[in-house]
Amino acid sequence: MAGGFARATLKLRWVGLIALIATVIVGLWMAPGTIQALEPGGFAVSGGTVVQTEEQLATRFGAAQVDLLILASDSDHASLVADPGARERLGTLQDRLRALPQVTQVTGPEQLPISLSRDQDEALLLVSLRGDDRTKQAEFEQLEAAARSVDGLEVALGGPLTANVNAQQLAREDLQRAELVALPIALLILLVYFRRPLPALLPVVVGGFAITGTFPLLRALAELTPVSLFALNIVVFLGLGLAVDYSLFIVQRQREELAIGNPVDVALRRTLVTAGKTVLFSGIAVIVSLLALAWVPISLLRSIAWGGTLVVVLANIGALIILPTLLALLGHRVAGAGVLGGGPIDPRLARVHDRDATPARWARIAAAVTRRPGWVVVVVGVALLLTGAPALRLQTAPADARMFPPTSEIHRVHDAVSDSQRFAVDPSATQLVLVTTRSGESILTPDALAAVQEFAQRLEAIDGVVAVSGINSMLGAGQQLPIAELLAGPGLPPALQAQLDAVVADDATLLRVVSRLPSSSPQARAQLAAIEARAPDGLEVALAGTAAHAREIDQALAARLPWAALTVALSSFFVLLLAFGAPVVALAAVILNALSLTASFGALVFVFQDGRFEQLLGYRSIGTIEPTVPVMMFALVFGLSMDYQLFLLSRIREAWLRDHDDSSSVVEGLTRTGAIITTAAVILIVFLLGLAAGTLVFMKQLGIGMALAILLDATLIRLLLVPASMGLLGKRNWWAPRWLTRARAVLRLELREGEAEREA
C-alpha cells in the first residue's frame, strides 16, 4: 500500500503543490471571519442547570444579564452625590446610555445604592443589552463612544462584553505572534539540525499549511456546533506544532534514504512505510486523547476536542500527503546533494545519516543510563515526585477579569469593585436565587409568602451575606402592613405593583443575595450550599450567578474527569499495544507519562498559584489555577508525548528483534533518536511558549504547563527513565501473549523505523 501511495504521490506532485498554495490563500482570506464566527466565553457547563436557571429568570422576570460595567468618576475627584456638577454629569451619562436602542437597562446608584463607592467619588453602572453575543459585539464601539462622551467624567469599561471584544483582539495578536515569531524560531532550530536551508524549510512550509488550513475547518465546525473563541489559539498552536514535528520525522527519514543511494521513488516509499506509519500512529493517539475532552460538558473543552481532532487530521495530511509531493518535486535536492534523478551520490552525503544519527553524546548518555538503571529510576523518579508535590494543594477557580493584564481597563474595574476599601461589596457579583413552590400554587398565597420571608431571614444569617432583596424587602421603610394584608386589600399602589411584577411570576419569585465574598472564591461556592440547605419545606431553590457557574464547573469536572482520564490512559496503552505488541512496555509508558504530568502540575502550582516569576512572565497571580487547564494539559500532553514514545520504542524494538540484546537495543534506540527527539521537543516548546506569551493568564498557565511537561517528557522521561526502566525489566519488556502476536501478524501492525537500506 505504501508503494502504491508513493507512486501516486510522484504522479500527482503538482496537484499537492497547488493544494498547498490554495489552502494558504483561502486560509488567510478566511482568518478574520473565522475569529468573528467563534463564540466568546466557553467556560460554562453546556446545558447546565445554572444556564437553564438564568434563562428562566430572563423569561419570567426580565432579569437581564449584565453585559457592560462602567466605572465612572469625576475628573476633579468631586463627590458624585454632594457636588451638583458631578452628579449632573453622571446623570447625563446614564441618560445617553439609556437613549441607545440596544440598551435595555442601566442600573446606577439611584436604583442600586451599593454601586456607589464608600467615599462617593466613584460609581459603577451596570448596563444590559438586547440581542445575542455577536450583535452585542457589533455594537460595542457605539456603546464605548457613548460611555466616553461626557466631558469631566473618567470612565473605565469592564464586564463580559468588554472581555469578549478584547479577547478577540488578543486572539488576533497571538496568532500574528505565531506567524511572525514562532515559525522563524522553528526554522532557525531546523537549520541548526539539518545544516541546510531546503530540508529545514519544508517542515515550516507544512506548518504554514496547517495553520492556514485550520481557519476554514474551524469556520465549518462553528456552523455545526458552538466553538469557543479561547480554543482558537490552543487548536492552532497544536496543529502548527504537530505539523512541524511530523514533517521533521518525514524529511529526516527521506534524507537518510537518499543519502545511501536510493532513487527518489524508492526513498519515498520506504519513508512512508517507516516514519509515515509512526506519524499515522501518533496522529491516532493524539486524536483519541483529544476526543476524551468531549466527556466533559464544558464548551471550551469540547471545542478543543472537536477542533483539535480536525487540526490533527490536517497536520497528518500535511505530513503524509502535501510533504511527500514536495519531496517528490525536489528529488535529491532535499538531501543537499544537488543531483536529480538517480545520478551519482556525493560520498560526503552518504555519511550524513551516520553523522546525524549516532552522535557521541547520546551514546554516552545511553551507556551511562544502562550501567546504573536502578539508580537512575530512583533518583529521577524521586525528583519528579518532589517536583509534583505542590500539586496536592492545587486550588482552582474559573477565569474572570483577572485573566487580562493588570494594566487593562477590565482588570482595573474588577480591582476597584473588589476592593473593600472602595466599595462595600461588589455590586456586579450578586447571587440570584429562583424560588418556586413545590405544589405549583401561587407564590403570593399567605403560606408561600411566609415561607419566602422565613427563607430570606435564614439567608441573612449566613456568614458573608450582606443583604437579601426581593419580595421580602420591597416595602418602603414607613410601610408597616405585611405583604399578605396588602395583597388582600383593594389594590396595590402603582409603584409597589411595578416592584412586585419585577420579582414575582405565578409560582416563582426572585431573591438577590448580596455577598461580600469574591464570586470566584471557594468560600462563595460553599456559601451556595448553605443557601440551598436553608430552603424551607414546600419551596424549591435554583441558583444563578458567577459563583453558581464556578460550582457547576467543579461538579462537572468531578463527575466526568475520571472517565476522560481513563479514556486518555487506555487509548495511549492500546495504541502502543497495537504498535509493538508489548503490554509491559505500553503500561510502563502510561505510568511514566503520568509521572511527568504530575511534575508539571506541581510546577504549575509553584509558579502561578504561588505567584512566582510574575515580572518575568508578565502576569499577576490570583492564587488559583483555571480548572480546565489541568484537564487540557492531561489530554494534550498524553497525546503529544506519543510522538517521542513511538519514535524511540520503534528504534529500540528494531534493534531488539535483530539482536535480542536488551541493553544494546536500548542504547542503540536512544542513540539514534536522541537528536531528533530533542529537536522535535524544542520546536514544540517554542510554539507552546508562543501560546504562553499571550496576555491572558489562563493561556499562560496552559502554555507554560505544557511546555514544562514536554520538556520533562523529552529529557528526563525519554532519555533517562524509559531506557532505565527497560534496562531493569530486561526480556520482560517484549513479552506478549500468543493470541496478540498472531492477531498483529495477521493485521500487519508491526511498527518499525529500521535502518535506511539501499534497494536493488
- Domain count across the chain: 3
Q: Tell me the average pLDDT across 170-194.
A: 81
**How high is the mean pLDDT of the chain?**
82
The pLDDT of residue 165 is 83
Whether the predicted pLDDT of 482 surpasses 60: no
Task: Please state which of the ranges 53-67, 317-331, 488-502, 530-544 shows the lowest mean pLDDT.
Answer: 488-502
Higher pLDDT, 142 or 41: 142
CATH number at residue 498: 3.30.70
Q: Are residues 601 and 566 in the same domain?
A: yes
Q: Are residues 239 and 356 in the same domain?
A: yes
Q: Are residues 473 and 371 in the same domain?
A: no
Q: Tell me the average pLDDT across 497-524.
A: 78
Q: Are residues 484 and 603 in the same domain?
A: no
Nearest to 345 by CA among 267, 263, 271: 263
The pLDDT of residue 384 is 92
Q: Name the residue range of residue 130's domain.
A: 67-158
Nearest to 321 by CA among 272, 278, 274, 282: 272
For the record, the C-alpha cell of 363 comes out as 551514546
Q: Tell me the average pLDDT across 513-529.
A: 81
Q: Tell me the average pLDDT across 49-62.
A: 80
417 domain residue, yes or no: no
CA–CA dist 525, 546 (Å, integer): 9
Whether the predicted pLDDT of 340 surpasses 60: no
**Terminal-to-terminal C-alpha distance of the chain:** 19
305 domain residue, yes or no: yes
CA–CA dist 405, 694 (Å, integer): 10
Neighbours of 570 (CB within 10 A): 13
Domain boundary among the residues 158, 193, 228 is at: 158
Taking every pair of Cα atoms in the chain, the longest distance, rounded to a whole number of angstroms, is 108
The pLDDT of residue 351 is 41
Q: Are residues 480 and 593 in the same domain?
A: no
Most confident of 176-185, 339-348, 569-578, 615-624: 569-578
Task: Please state which of the ranges 150-154, 475-479, 670-674 shows the lowest mean pLDDT.
Answer: 475-479
Domain boundary among the residues 127, 158, 189 is at: 158
466616553: which residue's cell?
A: 148
Q: Tell me the average pLDDT across 704-722.
A: 88
423 domain residue, yes or no: no
The pLDDT of residue 336 is 54
The pLDDT of residue 606 is 93
Determine what percent of the chain is predicted with pLDDT higher than 90.
9
Contact between residue 509 and residue 503 where contact means Cβ atoms under 8 Å apart = yes
Tens-digit pLDDT profile for residues 609-641: 998 888 888 788 878 888 888 988 888 888 888
The pLDDT of residue 203 is 92
The pLDDT of residue 6 is 66
CATH number at residue 85: 3.30.70.1430
CATH number at residue 239: 1.20.1640.10
Domain boundary among the residues 117, 142, 158 is at: 158
Task: Please state which of the ranges 336-345, 527-536, 576-585, 615-624 shows the lowest mean pLDDT.
Answer: 336-345
Angle, in degrees to the nearest 10, between helices 323-330 and 264-273: 160
Spatial neighbors of 498 by CB under 8 A, at least 6 apart, are none
The pLDDT of residue 387 is 92
243 domain residue, yes or no: yes
Q: Are residues 28 and 99 in the same domain?
A: no
The pLDDT of residue 389 is 93
Contact between residue 614 and residue 697 where contact means Cβ atoms under 8 Å apart = no
Q: Are residues 208 and 82 in the same domain?
A: no
Q: Are residues 220 and 361 in the same domain?
A: yes
pTM: predicted TM-score of the whole model, two decimal places: 0.82
- According to DSSP H, which parts of 260-359 are helical? 264-273, 275-291, 299-317, 323-330, 352-357
Higher pLDDT, 260 or 401: 260
pLDDT band at 439 (very low <50, low <70, confident <90, very high): confident
Q: Are residues 715 and 738 in the same domain?
A: yes
The pLDDT of residue 341 is 34
Tens-digit pLDDT profile for residues 11-25: 777 887 888 899 889
Tens-digit pLDDT profile for residues 237-274: 888 889 988 999 899 888 888 888 888 888 888 888 88
Q: Are residues 661 and 737 in the same domain?
A: yes
Across 615-637, b (16+ Cβ under 10 Å) vs e yields eebebebbebbbbbbbbbbbbbb
48 domain residue, yes or no: no
Q: Are residues 83 and 147 in the same domain?
A: yes
Tens-digit pLDDT profile for residues 86-123: 888 888 998 888 888 888 778 888 877 888 888 888 88
Q: Are residues 291 and 262 in the same domain?
A: yes
CA–CA dist 411, 401 (Å, integer): 5
Most confident of 38-52, 370-384, 485-499: 370-384
Tens-digit pLDDT profile for residues 637-693: 888 887 788 888 888 888 888 888 878 888 888 888 888 888 888 988 988 888 888
CA–CA dist 483, 445 (Å, integer): 10
